[in-house]
Amino acid sequence: MSEIDELLSIRAAELYYEENKTQDEIGSILRLTRWKVGRLLAQAKASGFIRIEIVHPRARRLPVERRLREVTGLSDAIVVSSAGVSGDELQSRTAQAAADYLTSLRPIPRTLGISWGRTLHEVSLHLKQGWAPGVNVVQINGGVSLNKRAGTAATTAVTIAQKAMGAATLLPSPAILERLETKQAIEGDRAVAAVLDMGTSASAYLYSAGQADENSALVDSGYLTTEQVSELVRKGAVGDIVGRYIDSNGNIVDPALDERTVGIQLEQLRRAKTAIAVIAGSNKHAVAQAIVRSGLCTVLVTDEETANAILNDHNRKGNS
């Protein structure tokens, strides 16, 4: 582009985007044809002179989504803006995007396997009544709370199912047992075994991830102490998925703890046709990177900063 065309394209863009002039009006002002004005506007956008930002909370970052799909091999990616928000507001924005995605998912899953936690509870609240016709929901990991603060597992499953005019099948077990013998006895129970079988054959999965620190839902629910989580971090844990702590490569960090954890195995998520991970916030960058890197989801719903952290991680790995 010549210097004259560059200056004209900037002036045309100013008139079009800041003065709200039509292309015909710009043509009259600059003494150009309407066709020439359209070409200048296109050149201005292609040259990076124009930056358009959609600031609605439900707006998505489509270029970042496209890069995530291309670079990581995800079948789909949904990325919301992180600009100006953090904490609970960012989690709410991401949960809304997950609810929107779930509502538009085709084919509609007949059975949806879900985990539990603060993020999925938020998703259940954002889903509209009648979001799908007759989806049955099944818990894929234990969620009977050990205290009153985080007892959302059953409520989450029931809410998602009722809003889809379906039924909820709950897993009547804590997430983690103190003794292996107790866990084996519970999973040997016919009713519990039936729920786990249903979970392994679900049409799609929806889960989130927990950070490996004192703010983990597993700590909040009374399953683990902060000291136990610190020990898991020392062993390489970056977070948990369906109650199972993984390292940066998606491997289980504590086999003994994992054996006492009730729920489907991680390999089931890796083999799934549709496994939707909903993850937001800077404290979950490491676990989000591990999940994508190790193929634990096919769809990622996240925020822009987390998406960029995943892309940067992939670039580092590719250049090493």
Same domain, 95 and 241: yes
Distance CA 310, CA 306 (A): 6
The domain of 21 spans 3-46
- pLDDT lower than 70: segments of the chain: 1, 53-57, 145-151, 318-320
- State residue 151's pLDDT score: 47
- State residue 150's pLDDT score: 45
Same domain, 69 and 27: no
Q: For 47-51, which contacts have Cβ atoms below 8 Å and span 24 or more sequence positions?
A: 47/1, 47/6, 47/9, 49/9, 49/10, 49/13, 50/13, 50/17
Q: How many domains does the chain have?
A: 2
Q: How far is CA 161 from CA 165, 199, 210, 226, in A?
A: 6, 15, 23, 33
The answer to whether residue 120 is domain-embedded is yes
The answer to whether residue 16 is domain-embedded is yes
Around Cβ 81, how many Cβ atoms within 10 Å?
Answer: 21
- State residue 147's pLDDT score: 55
Same domain, 19 and 133: no
- State residue 169's pLDDT score: 95
Same domain, 191 and 258: yes
Same domain, 35 and 162: no
The answer to whether residue 57 is domain-embedded is no
Same domain, 66 and 30: no
Kindly give the pairing relationship between strand 244-246 and strand 239-241: antiparallel
Same domain, 114 and 26: no
Distance CA 80, CA 60 (A): 5
The CATH number assigned to the domain holding 307 equals 3.40.50.1360
The answer to whether residue 55 is domain-embedded is no
Q: Is the pTM of this model over 0.85?
A: no
